[in-house]
Amino acid sequence: MFKRYGNRRELPLHLMLLPGLVLLLVFAYIPMMGIMIAFQQFNPVKGLFGDQRWLGLDNFHTIFAMPNIWRVIGNTILIAVMKIVLGMVVPIVFALLLNEVKRVMFKRVTQTIIYFPYFLSWIILSGIMIDILSPSSGLVNVMLSWVGLGPVYFLGENSWFPFTMVASDVWKNFGFNSVIYLAAITSIDTTLYEAAAVDGANRWKQTWHVTLPGMRMIIVLLMVLSLGNIFDAGFDQIFNLYSPQVYQSGDIIDTMIYRLGLLQSQYSISAGVGLMKSGVSFVLITVSYYLAYKLFKYRFF
């Protein structure tokens, strides 16, 4: 039996992977059988494999005939794209700036402070955000009143809500991503900086010609992975912070699926929307992987 692994020492490593594979099978692959609900007039009383009425593509026709479907898709793409772009730019810039700091203690304290929000769930952070952004007594609006600006309804106005979601998401996650980029920077050969300094390159030119090219692979990797989430604007965050008065700019695909499936019991329609979302995400991540290989010669395996 051990010969199959080539080396007996590899068997414990494969066994360590087994719990993760079981969880992946149970929570990711077995539930995919529920895809058939999107093509049925699903009745939960009959069960998943019961005598259900098949509708073919009628559910998808119903989805695209919904009056607010394109607005929801537009909100999802807008919020997701802003999160992806700023979620990459802000950590990269912060990692580059922090890399220039020479005091080790200051760097460690700063990393700990910015990394802490990443460990908090949106259940906790949503309560904090509601208090901070309260139009009457919130810290942000109190500070705005000091400079003569009126209260801003960050969570209650359609013009502010999407940008509030993006800013709060970047604040929560950029600490984790900056650590990844800092790790990539530390792997760069220091002799390259010495050679650049000998050639007369200042710190800015060293960053542009040495540091950023050295980070290219990890940047491409995270970019490819993030493009698959173009239809994932963050259900946990928006669900805990939005309200009916900001549906116009804050309602996304996932929140619509929640309302259709769990609140209105339209199981087939919600399954169809989820299937379309997953299909588009699969195509996008496949295309992004192909472009990463063609343009940057980068491969996962």
Query: What distance in Å separates the CA atoms of residue 274 and residue 265, rounded to the nearest whole number?
Result: 15
Q: Return the pLDDT at 3.
A: 52
Q: State the pTM of this model.
A: 0.84
End-to-end CA distance of the chain: 26
CB 251 within 8 A of CB 257: no
Residue for token digits 């472009």? 291
DSSP 57-69: THHHHHHHTSTTH
Token pair listed for 28: 């990711």
Q: Return the pLDDT at 5.
A: 47
Low-confidence ranges of the chain (pLDDT < 70): 1-7, 296-301
Query: What distance in Å separates the CA atoms of residue 157 and residue 41, rounded to the nearest whole number?
Result: 37
Q: Return the pLDDT at 79.
A: 92
Q: Return the pLDDT at 2.
A: 46
Q: How many Å separate Cα 158 from the centre of its chain?
A: 22
Q: Return the pLDDT at 169.
A: 92
For the chain, the domains span: 1-56, 67-296
Residues in the chain: 301
Query: What distance in Å separates the CA atoms of residue 180 and residue 164, rounded to the nearest whole number?
Result: 25
3.60.15.10, 3.40.50.720, 1.10.3720.10, 1.10.10.10: CATH of 67-296: 1.10.3720.10
* Degrees to nearest 5, angle at CA 291 with 24 and 252: 55
Tell me the CA distances in angstroms from 70 to 75, 120, 249, one per residue in order. Answer: 8, 32, 12
